């Protein structure tokens, strides 16, 4: 393939899965021989909460050739803000429920001179965006799960969850669990405040993982996938993008906001008969579908398809140039992330 693939990344050090996945795309493309980079305004910027050694570019602006492809996150799209006028672009949608948060009245979306490629991470994302943006033909790029990092160890009776996105329901769930006689001898674990590696260590010996997710919906649900890879039995809310993960043989969906039902299911799963066989089957199911090989194959096809978009040389502006405007819009979502310290989900 000719030309570079450049992902615009944001310089935030509270861990959010989207920034890590964007970086993983760069790593996979580079490993496949593509001239791929993450672009940050500050020279030498690296994330400090996971291993980050991908090729990078820096500066507030960047010259792109007609052969280059600029990839930007969906939350950077604003009316009247084309990051690379005349250039070839793709919008990487990791949370399709948030796609129009920054531009609810923009028609046609994204309002650029040349329509972009549109990539997303779940079957639900493809279906929803196909209806919302019928002219852009979204492509599915499945998320890769590191099965070497997320792997099972000897399980202890335990129920874990991540409280960042639903702190109120998390507190309620914990109270229901701790007051149920079936929780005697079961460790209750809120994985809030852990780094990526620490989450992997915690999930390794966790018995049951409870998926709470975001109230507005999930683009995919990385913690669920990582729990399945770790050999956890999983219950909780699929919330759209995560529904496909509950097709795993070791996962049991519960309707949204049925907190008592969720607690009952989690407590029942701690003592599920023949659970080692079920755990193994769930891990195998996950690893076969969400791995680096599948992601790389989909990425290479998506990049090749994007090459057909007409383009010209251009001067690109990093989307951080309108970060203040973006943050006024997404602050209700971003503030809980920062306040949580170091949540992995």
Token code pair at residue 233: 């039995």
User: Considering the entire predicted model, what is its pTM?
Assistant: 0.93
- In terms of DSSP bridges, do strands 208-211 and 233-236 run parallel, antiparallel, or are they unpaired? parallel
DSSP 284-300: HHHHHHSSHHHHHHHHH
Per-residue pLDDT of the chain (345 residues; tens, 9 = 90+): 689 999 999 888 776 668 889 999 999 999 999 999 999 999 999 988 788 999 999 999 999 999 999 999 999 999 999 999 999 999 999 999 999 999 999 999 999 999 999 999 999 999 999 999 999 999 999 999 999 999 999 999 999 999 989 999 999 999 999 999 999 999 999 998 888 899 999 999 999 999 999 999 999 999 999 999 999 999 999 999 999 999 999 999 999 999 999 999 999 999 999 999 999 999 999 999 999 999 999 999 999 999 999 999 999 999 999 989 998 888 776 554 444 443 344
3-state helix, strand, coil in the chain (%, to 5): 40, 20, 45
* 328 HSE (CA, 13 A, CB side): 5
Residues in the chain: 345
């Amino acid at each position: 393939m000719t030309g570079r693939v450049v992902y615009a990344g944001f310089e935030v050090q509270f861990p959010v899965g989207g920034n890590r996945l964007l970086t993983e795309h760069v790593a996979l493309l580079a490993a496949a021989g593509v001239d791929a980079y993450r672009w940050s305004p500050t020279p030498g910027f690296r994330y400090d909460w996971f291993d980050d050694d991908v090729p990078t570019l820096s500066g507030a602006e960047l010259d792109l050739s007609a052969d280059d492809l600029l990839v930007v996150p969906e939350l950077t799209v604003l009316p009247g803000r084309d990051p690379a006028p005349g250039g070839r672009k793709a919008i990487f949608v990791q949370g399709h429920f948030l796609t129009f948060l920054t531009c609810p009245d923009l028609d046609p979306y994204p309002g650029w001179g040349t329509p972009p490629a549109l990539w997303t991470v779940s079957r639900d994302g493809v279906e929803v965006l196909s209806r919302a943006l019928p002219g852009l033909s979204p492509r599915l790029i499945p998320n890769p799960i590191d099965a070497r990092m997320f792997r099972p160890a000897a399980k202890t009776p335990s129920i874990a969850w991540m409280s960042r996105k639903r702190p109120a329901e998390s507190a309620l769930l914990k109270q229901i669990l701790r007051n149920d006689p079936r929780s005697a001898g079961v460790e209750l674990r809120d994985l809030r405040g852990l780094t990526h590696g620490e989450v992997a260590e915690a999930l390794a010996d966790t018995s049951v993982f409870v998926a709470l997710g975001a109230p507005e919906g999930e683009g995919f649900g990385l913690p669920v996938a990582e729990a399945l890879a770790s050999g956890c039995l999983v219950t909780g809310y699929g919330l759209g993008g995560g529904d496909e993960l509950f097709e795993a043989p070791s996962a049991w969906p519960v309707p949204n906001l049925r907190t008592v039902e969720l607690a009952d299911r989690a407590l029942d799963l701690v003592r599920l008969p023949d659970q080692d066989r079920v755990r193994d089957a769930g891990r195998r199911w996950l690893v076969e579908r969400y791995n680096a090989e599948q992601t790389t194959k989909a990425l290479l096809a998506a990049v090749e398809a994007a090459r057909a978009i007409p383009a010209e040389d251009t001067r690109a502006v990093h989307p951080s140039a309108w970060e203040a405007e973006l943050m006024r819009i997404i602050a209700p979502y971003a503030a809980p992330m920062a306040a949580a310290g170091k949540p992995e989900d």
